[in-house]
Amino acid sequence: MGYFTGPKLLDFKSSPPHLQFNKYVHTGYRPISTCRECLRSLFYLHNEFGNIYTHGVPFICFLLFLPVSIPWAEVDEWWIGIVHYLACLSPTICSVFYHLFMNHEGGAPIYDTLLCFDMFGVCLVNTLGALPIIHITLLCHPITRQVAMLAYLLLSGYGVHCALTAESNIHRLQSFIWQAGFRFVLFMFRLIGPGRGSPSSLQLYLTMDALAMFGGLVNVSRFPERFSPGRFDYWLNSHQIMHIMVVLSILYLHWGMLEDLRWLKGYHCPDEYGIYDI
């Protein structure tokens, strides 16, 4: 068997039970494999091929090009760039590991661990991605900023617990509702007046959350494969569409943060904010 020639693929009923989570995907399942064989699956077509590359290619691009676009020298709060960079990387790399090794010979225990790792990556982008936004939005209100960041971290911790213990895709999606609600309130606070981040970044952040929510809903609805089982086994099924939406969401997060960083460089809080808080 050549390196670029894959093993005989399985249908849904013949695949390992822990991989039978989408009954509308009928074919293309990899057999139970060693670590080496899982890695070799990068080079032949199967029904996880698209899931691996729709996050693997963006991960490489984010890894190489995001640091170049962040204006490190112009930002006094250096931690913002690092946290934002890690937020953008985390869901893609965790997803690649999950999809690449999900058919490992370790069986269901390895799969469950990889699924938790994948969910942890989603939790990281929700948590780390929001912290710089909170900091910039409440820049002139230091006490409120500290309280808000602590509250969001606690809420994120609860979200991580819910996501890692969820028993279905719907419950996993619900794990992130409270974080999304927190961010929405934060974004609405930006509308009150100036001094709460770049005016042009708000639309980018709202688009970010809308794309992520849309992707999550598509994933739990199993659209479009639900309406044509077997037709989308390899390409353009719900999970791949969600991956694309996640990548676009990360891009909008990055573009919004770049706008905020440019605003942060040239903005100075009025003197009265040294005494008063909201």
18 carries a ligand binding annotation: no
239 carries a ligand binding annotation: yes
Cβ(195)–Cβ(140) below 8 Å: yes
99 carries a ligand binding annotation: yes
Task: Give the number of other CB atoms < 10 A from CB of residue 70.
Answer: 19
DSSP the chain: --TTSPPPPB-TTTS-GGG---TT--S-BPPSB-HHHHHHGGGS--TTHHHHHHHHHHHHHHHHHHHHHS-GGG-S-HHHHHHHHHHHHHHHHHHHHHHHHTTBTT-HHHHHHHHHHHHHHHHHHHHHTTHHHHHHHTTT-HHHHHHHHHHHHHHHHHHHHHHHH-SSHHHHHHTTHHHHHHHHHHHHHTTS-SSSS-TTHHHHHHHHHHHHHHHHHHHHHTTTGGGSTTTTSSSS-HHHHHHHHHHHHHHHHHHHHHHHHHHHHH----GGGGT---
Q: List binding-site positions.
A: 99, 239, 243
Q: List binding-site positions for Zn(2+).
A: 99, 239, 243
